[in-house]
Structure 1
Amino acid sequence: MEKKKVLIVDDQNGIRILLMEVFGSEGYETFQAANGKIALEIVEKEPPDLVLLDMKIPGMDGLEILKHLKAMNPDIKVIMMTAYGELDMIKEATELGALMHFTKPFDIDEMRIAVNKQLRSD
């Protein structure tokens, strides 16, 4: 069985490290990117099954990254992370194909359960 791949895109190093630990221990192969450019390079080389994507990233923001991801691979599963109550952005992300969003600070167990549910439903 090939390991499912999870890509974590967040400009905050601490969050990337935390999520990589959590999902690595769940048995996923984890990748991380601090910005959109790196994220899209990883998606080209190592297409992930699921992307945890922060909405607020300097440079290319989460919505832009999401558009690129979906253009590259419409089947990619994306869960947004946001630190703000930006309902209009969340609404747009949902319209662009994001499955759900977590508001920071999020409950790591809830996120783990959500990711497992998405990746084990295939």
Structure 2
Amino acid sequence: MGRKKLLIVDDQIGIRILLLEVFATEGYETFQAANGRTALDIVRNHTPDLVLLDMKIPGMDGLEILKKIKEMNKEIKVIMMTAYGELDMIKEATDLGALMHFTKPFDIDEMRLAVNMQLGEGDSRSRFASGT
């Protein structure tokens, strides 16, 4: 199977470093991108299992990136990270196929649990369960 791949997309370097450290420790192969173009290149070349995607990215916003990721491969799971007050965008993100969102500042342990749950490490049931 190989390790599960995780892509972190955020223009804030501090958040990327924090999440990279957490998820590398969890044993994931982690990639990072500061903008949409880099993110989509990584999706194209590495096909991550899950993307942690910030809603507000300069240049190409999170919804646009989400749309393009899902066009490339709708199996890729996406969790949005949002600033307070972006509720209208969250609904749209959910409609586009995002699984859930975390509002910044998020609880890193909750994020870790959510990712582990989505990537279902060692739990065969979750691999066949289809969420609606």
* TM-score bucket of the superposed structures, by smaller chain: over 0.9
User: 1:86 deviation in Å?
Assistant: 1.2
Q: TM-score, normalised by structure 1?
A: 0.98
1:2 alignment partner, SS class: coil
Task: Measure the CA separation in 1 of the matches of 2:84 and 2:38.
Answer: 24
Task: Measure the CA separation in 2 of the matches of 1:17 and 1:86.
Answer: 24
Structure 1 position 5 matched with structure 2 position 5:
yes
Structure 1 position 59 matched with structure 2 position 81:
no
User: Partner letter of residue 8 of structure 1?
Assistant: I
Task: Measure the CA separation in 2 of the matches of 1:87 and 1:102.
Answer: 11
The residue that corresponds to 1:22 in the other structure is: 22
1:7 alignment partner, SS class: strand
Uncovered stretches (5+) of structure 1, i.e. residues with no partner: none
- Size of the aligned set, in residue pairs, is 122
User: Partner letter of residue 112 of structure 2?
Assistant: R
User: Partner letter of residue 52 of structure 2?
Assistant: L
Q: Deviations over 1:70-94 (max 9, x none)?
A: 0000111000000131111000000
The residue that corresponds to 2:114 in the other structure is: 114
User: Partner letter of residue 54 of structure 1?
Assistant: D
Q: 1:84-99 maps to which residues of 2 (within 5 A)?
A: 84-99=84-99
Structure 1 position 45 matched with structure 2 position 45:
yes
User: 1:33 deviation in Å?
Assistant: 0.1
Q: TM-score, normalised by structure 2?
A: 0.91
Runs of 4+ in 1 over 4 A off after TM superposition: none
Q: Deviations over 1:51-77 (max 9, x none)?
A: 000000000000000000000001110
The residue that corresponds to 2:70 in the other structure is: 70
Identity of aligned residues (%): 80
User: Partner letter of residue 48 of structure 1?
Assistant: P
